[in-house]
Amino acid sequence: MEPERLPLLKVLDSPFLSLDGTSVEMASLLFLFLAVLVVAGTTWQRQWTRRAVQAVSAVVFFYVVYSCLGVFGMLRNAFHGTTLLGSVYSESCFWMALPVVAASVTGVAGPVFCGWICPTGALQDLAVALRNRLPKLRARATGPRLLVLGAVCLVFLALLVWLSVEKKMFVEDSSLHWAMGVLALCYLVVAGLVDDQAIRGLRLLSVGVILVTAVSRQLITSPTHFAFSSRGDPASALATLIIVLSSLLVSRAFCRYLCPWGAVTGLLARFSRLKIAHDAARCDGCNACNRSCAVQAVELGQVQVDQCQLCFACIDDCPKSALSLVDTWKPAPRPVETAPQKA
Amino acid sequence: MTLLALTLASLLGATDWPQSRGDAQNSAAISLDAPKCGKAKAWRFEGSGRVLGYEPGMTVWSSVALAQVDDRAVLAVGSYDHLVYLLDACSGQVQWKYPTGGAVAAAPTLWNDGQRVWLFAASSDRLVYALDASTGARLWSVAVEDYRPTLGGARLSSAVVGTVAGEPALFVGAWVYDRSLGASLQRGSVVALRIRDGHRLWTAALGDNEVAAPVLANVGGSARLFVASSDGTLHALDPSDGKTIWKRTELDAIRSPPAVVELPDGPVVVLASKYGLARALNAVDGAERWSVKTLDRVIGSPAIARLGDRWLVLVPSYDRHLWALDASTGAVVWRYAARAGVYSSPAIAADAKPPVAVVSAWDDALHVVDLATGHPVATVFTGRPLWDVAGLDSSTWSAPVVARLNGTWVTFAGSYDGVLRALPLEGAGAVAAGSDFSGLLFWLSFPATLVPLSLFAVWLTRRARRKAQIPSTSSGTARKGT
């Protein structure tokens, strides 16, 4: 028996029907940002709170925002929104809203999107948690191990080709290029042919590719757009799976090497109001901060702002409380001035 | 006159396409015996390949319309590249193409007045074009809204041919919007135009939401125009003056034209909404006959097929099923399961052997389903979608149609990969012809991408290591601290 009245959600949605009902997506994401800004300030059980927010975010992205409001789409949509400025304002605002909100929040409060909201990051964190519980996965890569790993990758690639040639499913999608790129970089890092820190700049290459394709109207697919949850897109599902598995080799590998949004937030974070400060007097050099950081953005208390994802793990794990969150916009307390004494 | 035209068309067997899905039952089927057409074969057509932009609900092709023109079976299709194409339906050869000022998302309409075949195309440049289907010459064009620089792209529906006061007339659904801060407006309407010269006869305002293509049907001896709107309302209009006879509002948007049929116990109009509900109403007064809730939204049109003594209503749903319901009672006859949401309206080849329905789904495949049993006959990969959310809420764009060309059933489907395909339905043709994969080229692109990426990464590493060895620099792992 269907309800007699219009569901409340639809009442709220109806003014935006012309925008294809996407206001629900927008509202959920804005709510996520607001929730993060509120809860990130509390120190009680912060990492568990972060995981809870990530879980909610993953649900939102899978079941509500299942499409191009993901990592790549945000950049592409922002560009598309600019092309509508001057003629169709509300539609322009719609396309630009999430990127503008995400960029603004990053500029003000740091890259909380990466550390708290991004569903790709959440899925990779799951793989990292698994990796931390399996010592064999963390063991040093040796020749035979690398050969086995390479063979597994090739077999996986052969499986993809077989799926495609036999028409089991349609996987020929550009999202696989991104995913296989991450896997290849992870393999090179594990094999020692490439240094982790040296290739972090590749994220800018991703930004370039996204912008060039957006400007030239070439349509490429993101490995992280989660369309597979709504319309059965096996290529995106496989690409996401590969990215998650890559995190078993190098934690949050996609964030480190190829995430275009990560590169943008990294640049914006330089101007962020909130920053992580290091108190050298308290630091005893145990490097617990480095061990807790999923993207190795901190060493001996020194934080790389453009790599940090503001998950606060380093602050929470520091045994000496040498790291803290500071508000750089807050004026320093003025020294107490005493009135000049009269002679 | 309208009634006479409708009756004549059904008696003689139509050789034109006067409504968006061919007829009031949305069967999207036609039978043509064209002397200049050889044996129908599989073909593919890619148009100009230039897509100039995208917008919500974008697709590259409109649905197609078929008719017989000069002893030739032809196919008319609109494209996002702003062109209207007329192709030879048997060979896929372009007869002519006509440039409009915007994307042509609505299916064209072809109407034979006995002297010439008219082609009506509604473009997002706000204009309705009347063209001579033989030559592609423009006969007239009319704007449904005057130009302003802040006007967004209009969304015009397919046209339907009828009569007003004894004169042949064209009914077009139009939705225009102007979201500039100074002139904010959204307006949905149906416009009646005199076919002879494009003169506007009447305009019926239907609120501020997008409207689907009107459907013209004979209801209890009178002509009725059924227009669905995105505000969830189905309007039954009098085509002579555009006045509302009755209307009914659903819980959610109706994005596709309803289907109308004259059953033994009275005329029925079947609508389907984004709420996922298919509802049959008495077409005379709008009273409900039955309703069935599918498990997800319905965007495509319902279609009605006759199978022996039984009338079936086919409803495509995003719950990954094509539902077949009994038109009299709403009882579920069968459900065909695709691997993803079924977004297109069905096309029905009731005279094929076996009788089949053809639908497109989000699993990038065209599904040919046995109309009697709901069992799959063939599944054809139509290629990758062009855009990951294209068509999530679009109506009947790029829905397949079927045609019997000199005895051979062929389906025509525009796909999101930018290709328009003709696939023979009988025999192994459908399975063999549609299996388009980029194949070798795609897999070769992997080494072409990964090898340079890896080499670049190695180069970056060597450069960093060299810098680290220079004594003047502090360390290769220097940090930019706060």
% of chain B residues with pLDDT over 70? 84
Confidence label for A343 from pLDDT (cuts 50, 70 and 90): very low
Query: A29-43, B304-318, B335-349, B445-459: which has the minimum mean pLDDT?
Result: A29-43
Q: Between A7 and B199, where is the model more confident?
A: B199
B304 compared with B232, residue with greater pLDDT:
B304
Total residues found in chain A within this entry: 343
In angstroms, the CA A313 to CA A309 distance is 10
Of A19, A188, A277, the CB nearest to B454: A188
Tell me, what's the ipTM? 0.81
A91 inside 8 A of chain B by CB = yes
Higher pLDDT, B331 or B430: B331
Rounded CA separation B64/B418 (Å): 14
3-class secondary-structure state, position B413: strand
Whether B261 and B278 have beta carbons less than 8 Å apart is answered as no
Chain A, chain B: beta-carbon pairs less than 8 Å apart: 167
**pLDDT bracket for residue A144 (50, 70, 90):** confident
Among A6, A18, A233, most B C-beta atoms within 10 A, so best to mutate, is: A18
CA distance B454 to chain A (A): 7
Q: CATH number of A273-327: 3.20.20.70, 3.40.50.2300, 3.30.70.20, 3.40.470.10?
A: 3.30.70.20
**Is residue B431 pLDDT above 70, yes or no?**
no
pLDDT higher at B48 or A314: A314
Please list every residue in chain A whose beta carbon sits closer than 8 Å to the beta carbon of residue B438: 172
CB contact under 8 A, B439 and A231: no
Kindly determine whether residue B442 and residue A164, on different chains, have CB atoms separated by under 8 Å: yes
According to CATH, the topology of domain B2-437 is Methanol Dehydrogenase; Chain A (2.140.10)
The confidence score (pLDDT) of residue A211 equals 77
Whether A204 and chain B come into contact, CB under 8 Å, resolves to: no
- Minimum-distance CB partner of B56 among A20, A180, A198: A20
Q: Is the pLDDT of residue B477 over 60?
A: no
- Tens-place pLDDT, residues B64-96: 999 999 889 999 999 878 899 999 999 999 999
Most confident of A51-55, A171-175, B461-465: B461-465
Contact A199 B460 (CB under 8 A): yes
Q: What are phi and psi of A268, to 5 degrees?
A: -70, -30
Please check whether residue A173 touches B, CB under 8 A: yes
C-alpha pair distances (Å), A259 with each of A104, A199, A264, A343: 19, 12, 9, 67
Is pLDDT above 60 for A79?
Answer: yes
Closest CB to B461: pick one of A170, A194, A278.
A194
Distance CA B283, CA B260 (A): 8
Mean pLDDT of A260-287: 87
Interface residue A221 vs chain B (CB under 8 A): yes
Q: A86-95, B215-224, B362-371 — which is least confidently predicted?
A: A86-95
pLDDT 10s digits, B100-119:
988 888 999 999 998 999 99
Average confidence (pLDDT) over A217-228: 58
- Is beta strand B401-405 parallel, antiparallel or unpaired with respect to B29-32? parallel
Domain boundaries, chain A: 8-119, 127-267, 273-327
d(CA B382, CA B416): 8
The per-residue pLDDT for B193 is 97
pLDDT greater at residue B384 or residue A330: A330
Task: Categorize the per-residue pLDDT at B339 as very low, low, confident or very high, splitting at 50, 70 and 90.
Answer: confident
CB < 8 Å to A276, chain B: 482
CA distances to A217, B55, B154, B230, B253 from B393, rounded to whole Å, are 22, 12, 16, 10, 10
What local confidence, expressed as pLDDT, does residue A72 receive? Answer: 61
Share of chain B above pLDDT 90, in %: 52
> Residue A87's pLDDT band (boundaries 50, 70, 90)?
low
Shortest Cα distance from B382 to chain A (angstroms)?
10
* Domain ranges (residues) in chain B: 2-437, 444-470
Check residue A60 and give its pLDDT: 76
CA atoms within 13 A on the CB side of A34: 6
A12 touches chain B (CB under 8 A): no
Q: Do B464 and A198 touch (CB under 8 A)?
A: yes
Phi, psi of A157 (to 5 degrees): -65, -40
- Greatest mean pLDDT among A201-210, A280-289, B257-266: B257-266
pLDDT at B482: 30
pLDDT at A14: 45
By C-alpha distance, which of A184, A191, A51 is closest to A123? Answer: A51
The CB density around residue A302, as the number of other CB atoms within 10 Å, is 19
| pLDDT recorded at residue A26 | 64
Q: What is the pLDDT of residue A223?
A: 58
Name the burial class of residue B436, with classes exposed (0-12), middle (13-18) and buried (19+) by CB atoms within 10 angstroms of its CB.
Answer: middle
Q: Summarize pLDDT for B150-165 with one digit per residue, the tens.
A: 777 788 999 999 999 8
User: In this predicted structure, what is the pLDDT of residue A158?
Assistant: 84
* Per-residue pLDDT at A220: 61
Distance from CA of A85 to the nearest CA of B (A): 10
Name the residue facing A194 among B320, B388, B458 (closest C-beta).
Answer: B458
Residues 6+ apart with CB under 8 A from B118: B110, B111, B112, B130, B131, B132, B133, B139, B195
Question: What's the pLDDT at B438?
Answer: 52
**For the segment B206-247, what is each residue's pLDDT rounded down to a tens digit?**
988 889 999 999 998 899 999 999 888 999 999 999 999 999
Could you tell me the pLDDT band of residue B446, with boundaries at 50, 70 and 90?
confident
Q: Report CA torsion sign: B330, B331, B332, B333.
A: negative
| Average pLDDT of the residues in A256-279 | 87
Mean of the per-residue pLDDT values of chain B: 84
Q: How far apart are the first and last CA of chain A?
A: 92
In A, which residues are within 8 Å of B435 by CB distance?
167
From chain B, the residues in CB contact with A164 under 8 A are 437, 439, 442-443
Residues B429-436: what's their mean pLDDT? 44
- Lowest-confidence segment of B187-201, B359-373, B452-466 by average pLDDT: B359-373
Task: Assign 3-class secondary structure to B65-114.
Answer: EEEEECCEEEEEEEECCCEEEEEECCCCCEEEEEECCCCCCCCCEEEECC
One-letter amino acid at A135 equals P
Q: Could you tell me which chain A residue has the CA closest to the CA of B479?
A: A304
> Is residue A199 less than 8 Å (CB to CB) from chain B?
yes
DSSP string, B363-399: TTEEEEEETTT--EEEEEE----SSTTTTSS--STT-
What per-residue confidence (pLDDT) applies to B33? 86
- Of A17-21, A84-88, A190-194, A195-199, the poorest mean pLDDT is in A17-21
pLDDT digit string, tens, across residues A288-305: 898 889 999 988 888 898
Q: How confident is residue B136, by pLDDT bands cut at 50, 70 and 90?
A: very high
Q: Provide, as residue numbers in chain B, all residues whose Cβ is less than 8 Å from the Cβ of A230.
A: 341
Partner B, chain A 293-332, Cβ-Cβ below 8 Å: 299, 301-306
